[in-house]
């Protein structure tokens, strides 16, 4: 039986990956998570419910209460399990939170990733190693692209970006937030373990990843949090750009499906922009309108005329490289279908 090691297994992406590979692909799944999300974001970010769900629902799932900053602990676990695949999703995932906890952010995102890479090199260098990176590695450089203002959103005015941002876009000489910078360090290191040591590594630079298992909070998990606010009648604060800032959204299942395609035909030191693509974009204003349709409740909102530092005005991923390398993969869950699932999940969880 093939063995998969997933870090951040109780989080949005990690839990989807555990379920997908455990149930659909017959892997023995080992998860690493120490519920650090509750430390980063407080009780609203708690992911124990998701860990318990995996223990109930994924046959043979083994949970390891381990901090990826624990270098010796990571080394010993990887040596013991010798996983056939490693999927690394554990992170401090928030742009804004990082400035308050710079050491925790860097130690988790950059050094934690290095701990895993080195453990993999020592014990299972032939195993595909997939790293969840982020579109924040591009910093705010995408804001330099000429834009056009439409009624409810911004869009690129430059035809060169009509399909979105490609993987060749510059990653330096822009404002990243400390989070973006720690993720750049990890992203480049993952590429380097591919290029320098020949390991089958890849970085997936995520747009907005979401789905019913997201514990969305104000500082991370835009759609999940927005929908939660609507359902609970809470005020959603819009930060700048007239609420017309655009994000591309991808369901966590389509993320897991892409990872499976990579595992089946791994490459070395690759980078992909993984988002919903242009077809699955929405602005904050458009997300309000769609959510109101699902829930029948008006969105309570307040506008602050100050964008978050380094925030993108318009970002969507160019999916053409992913589709060219893995033609059997494509998006299967539309934005509307994803939003409906999130509404149903929050309704169930708060019932």
Ligand X SMILES: NC(=O)c1ccc[n+]([C@@H]2O[C@H](COP(=O)([O-])OP(=O)(O)OC[C@H]3O[C@@H](n4cnc5c(N)ncnc54)[C@H](O)[C@@H]3O)[C@@H](O)[C@H]2O)c1
Residue 142 binding ligand X, by CB under 6 A: no
Q: Which is nearer to ligand X, 233 or 315 (CB)?
A: 315
Report strand pairing: 85-88 vs 129-134: parallel
Distance (Å, rounded) from C-alpha 72 to C-alpha 90? 17
- Choose, by CB under 6 A, the member of 28, 34, 177, 280 that binds ligand X: 34
Residue 68 binding ligand X, by CB under 6 A: yes
User: For ligand X, how many residues bind (rule: CB under 6 A)?
Assistant: 28
- Choose, by CB under 6 A, the member of 3, 28, 36, 191 that binds ligand X: 36
Distance (Å, rounded) from C-alpha 24 to C-alpha 150? 42
DSSP 173-185: SS--HHHHHHHHH
Instruction: Name residues whose C-beta falls within 8 Å of residue 147's C-beta, 6 or more positions apart in sequence.
Output: 154, 155, 156, 157, 313, 314
3-state class (DSSP) for residue 162: coil
- Only one of the segments 64-72, 73-81, 152-160, 191-199 lies at the binding site for ligand X (rule: CB under 6 A); that segment is 64-72
Question: Which residues in 159-218 contact ligand X (CB under 6 A)?
Answer: 206, 208-209
Under DSSP, the state recorded for 317 is: B
Question: Which residues in 210-229 contact ligand X (CB under 6 A)?
Answer: 221
- Integer angstrom CA distances of residue 178 from 100, 127, 175, 280, 325: 10, 30, 9, 28, 32
Residue 211 CB, nearest distance to ligand X (Å)? 9
Residue 108 binding ligand X, by CB under 6 A: yes
Residue 117 binding ligand X, by CB under 6 A: no
- Choose, by CB under 6 A, the member of 13, 98, 202, 342 that binds ligand X: 13
* Class of residue 14 by CB neighbours under 10 A (exposed 0-12, middle 13-18, buried 19+): buried
Residue 309 CB, nearest distance to ligand X (Å)? 17
Question: Which residues in 237-256 contact ligand X (CB under 6 A)?
Answer: none
Q: Which is nearer to ligand X, 4 or 13 (CB)?
A: 13
83: alpha, beta or left, given left = phi > 0 and alpha = psi -120 to 50? beta
Binding residues for ligand X, rule: CB under 6 A, are 8, 10-14, 32-37, 47, 67-69, 89-91, 93, 108, 112, 132, 134, 206, 208-209, 221
């Amino acid at each position: 039986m093939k063995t998969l090691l997933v870090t951040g297994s109780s989080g949005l992406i990690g839990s989807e990956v555990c379920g997908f590979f455990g149930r659909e692909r017959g892997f023995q799944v080992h998860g690493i998570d120490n519920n650090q999300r509750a430390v980063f974001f407080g009780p609203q970010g708690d992911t124990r419910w998701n860990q318990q769900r995996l223990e109930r629902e994924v046959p043979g799932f083994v949970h390891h209460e381990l901090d990826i900053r624990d270098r010796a602990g990571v080394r010993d676990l990887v040596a013991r399990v010798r996983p056939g695949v490693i999927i690394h999703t554990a992170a401090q995932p928030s742009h804004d939170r990082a400035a308050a906890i710079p050491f925790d952010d860097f130690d988790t995102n950059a050094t934690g990733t290095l701990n895993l890479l080195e453990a993999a090199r020592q014990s299972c260098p032939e195993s595909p190693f997939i790293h969840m990176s982020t579109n924040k590695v591009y910093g705010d450089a995408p804001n330099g692209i000429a834009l056009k203002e439409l009624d409810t959103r911004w869009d690129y005015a430059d035809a060169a970006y009509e399909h979105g941002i490609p993987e060749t876009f510059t990653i330096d000489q822009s404002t990243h937030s400390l989070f973006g910078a720690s993720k750049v360090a990890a992203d480049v290191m993952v590429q380097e373990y591919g290029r320098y040591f020949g390991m089958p590594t890849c970085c997936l630079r995520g747009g907005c990843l979401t789905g019913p298992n997201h514990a969305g909070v104000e500082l991370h998990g835009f759609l999940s949090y927005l929908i939660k606010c609507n359902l609970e009648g809470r005020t959603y604060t819009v930060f700048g750009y007239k609420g017309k800032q655009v994000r591309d959204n991808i369901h966590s299942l389509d993320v897991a499906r892409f990872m499976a395609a990579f595992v089946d035909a791994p490459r070395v030191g690759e980078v992909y922009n993984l988002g919903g693509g242009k077809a699955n974009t929405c602005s904050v204003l458009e997300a309000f309108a769609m959510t109101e349709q699902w829930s029948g409740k008006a969105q309570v909102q307040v506008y602050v005329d100050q964008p978050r530092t380094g925030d993108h005005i318009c970002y969507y991923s160019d999916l053409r490289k992913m589709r060219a390398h893995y033609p059997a993969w494509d998006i299967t869950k539309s934005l509307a279908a994803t939003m409906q699932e999130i509404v149903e999940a929050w309704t169930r969880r708060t019932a």
